[in-house]
């Protein structure tokens, strides 16, 4: 093979490699409509009481100040991992409220997700109506899995916290949970957030820890998970690689011109 022909193949190979899309592979999904496997540290299933669902909207829960682990092994070679899920928040989450009632602080009511031995993906507070507001302020996710209209509650919030209760929630009052205390009776109180995180990860196994802290009892504040998906992908080729690649092509061009001139 002539050197120029060889160079052409190298260049074609480089162009293919740089322009090949990073395809994602779904390695795990669970809608919790059946039995839960040993990949989960907690296997309890709850049913959203909204009668519109006919008791068929099942999810992993209910949890309080628990750490709920998802352990996956045998992942294919990858550079990035994405975890996405529906977070169900039931009853009177207090967000940023630190008021102490009967020696018991109402909050902050914190929810977290981290990768064992890896990054913390979220560490925030949520409020299902407490006017102290919440730390989470994400925009509505574009991903929705039900016909429920995205919640518009508290859009005109002007309270003390940075974000109003239920800011960024995809659903409000849709699960059918009710809360009763000294001041309210059977008040609808729940929200659903569609969350997704992508992070660098190369190990063939992963342990995801979902958790909450600062909560009162389950009858007062609880949470659950649904529609959990884990995907892995190759690292997309960044702009720097394009520049490097085009620089390399330029160098090859110079080398060829020199070879021809010699």
Interface residue list for Ca ion (CB under 5 A): 31-32, 58-59, 94, 106-107, 109, 216, 226
Q: Which is nearer to Ca ion, 75 or 108 (CB)?
A: 108
Residue 225, Cα to own-chain centre: how many angstroms?
11
Exposed / middle / buried, residue 178 (Cβ in 10 Å: 0-12, 13-18, 19+): middle
User: Do residues 157 and 134 lie in contact, with contact meaning Cβ atoms separated by under 8 Å?
Assistant: no
C-beta of 65 vs 82, nearer to Ca ion:
65
| Minimum CB distance to Ca ion, residue 58 (Å) | 5
CB of 97 to Ca ion, least distance (A): 7
CB atoms within 10 A of CB 104: 8
Closer to Ca ion at the Cβ: 62 or 94? Answer: 94
Residue 82 beta carbon to Ca ion: minimum distance, rounded to whole angstroms:
20
Q: Is 46 helix (H, G, I), strand (E, B) or coil?
A: strand
Residue 144 CB, shortest distance to Ca ion, in Å, is 14
Question: Whose Cβ is closer to Ca ion: residue 151's or residue 212's?
Answer: 212
CB of 53 to Ca ion, least distance (A): 10
Q: Smallest distance, Å, CB 92 to Ca ion?
A: 7
10 Å Cβ neighbour count for 197?
15
Query: Rounded CA gap, 61 and 228, in Å?
Result: 13
- Cα distances from 154 to residues 131, 147, 172, 179, 215, in angstroms, run 9, 21, 11, 18, 22
Helix, strand, coil percent values for the chain (each to nearest 5): 15, 35, 50
Q: Is 143 helix (H, G, I), strand (E, B) or coil?
A: coil
Question: Which residue number places its CB atom closest to Ca ion?
Answer: 94
Show the DSSP H helices in the chain as ranges. Answer: 3-19, 239-261
Select 59 or 75, whichever has its Cβ closest to Ca ion.
59
Rank residues 61 and 107 by Cβ distance to Ca ion and give the closer one.
107
């Amino acid at each position: 093979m002539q050197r120029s022909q060889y160079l052409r193949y190298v260049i074609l190979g480089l162009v293919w490699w740089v322009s090949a899309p990073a395809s994602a592979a779904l390695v795990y999904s669970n809608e919790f409509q059946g039995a839960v496997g040993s990949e989960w540290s907690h296997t309890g299933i709850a049913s959203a009481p909204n009668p519109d669902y006919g008791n068929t909207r099942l999810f992993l829960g209910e949890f309080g100040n628990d750490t709920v682990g998802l352990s996956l092994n045998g992942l294919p070679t990858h550079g990035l991992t994405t975890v996405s899920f529906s977070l169900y928040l039931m009853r009177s989450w207090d967000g940023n409220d630190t008021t102490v009632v009967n020696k018991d602080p109402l909050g902050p009511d914190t929810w977290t997700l981290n990768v064992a031995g890896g990054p913390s993906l979220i560490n925030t507070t949520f409020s299902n109506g407490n006017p102290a507001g919440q730390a989470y302020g994400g925009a509505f996710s574009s991903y929705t899995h039900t016909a429920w209209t995205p919640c518009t509650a508290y859009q005109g919030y002007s309270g003390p916290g940075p974000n109003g209760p239920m800011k960024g929630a995809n659903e409000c009052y849709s699960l059918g949970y009710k809360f009763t205390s000294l001041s309210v009776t059977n008040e609808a109180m729940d929200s659903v957030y569609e969350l997704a995180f992508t992070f660098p990860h190369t190990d063939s196994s992963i342990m995801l820890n979902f958790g909450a802290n600062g909560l009162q009892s389950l009858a007062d504040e609880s949470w659950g998970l649904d529609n959990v998906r884990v995907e892995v992908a190759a690292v997309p080729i960044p702009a720097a690689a394009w520049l490097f690649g085009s620089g390399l092509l330029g160098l090859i061009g110079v080398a060829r011109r020199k070879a021809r001139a010699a």
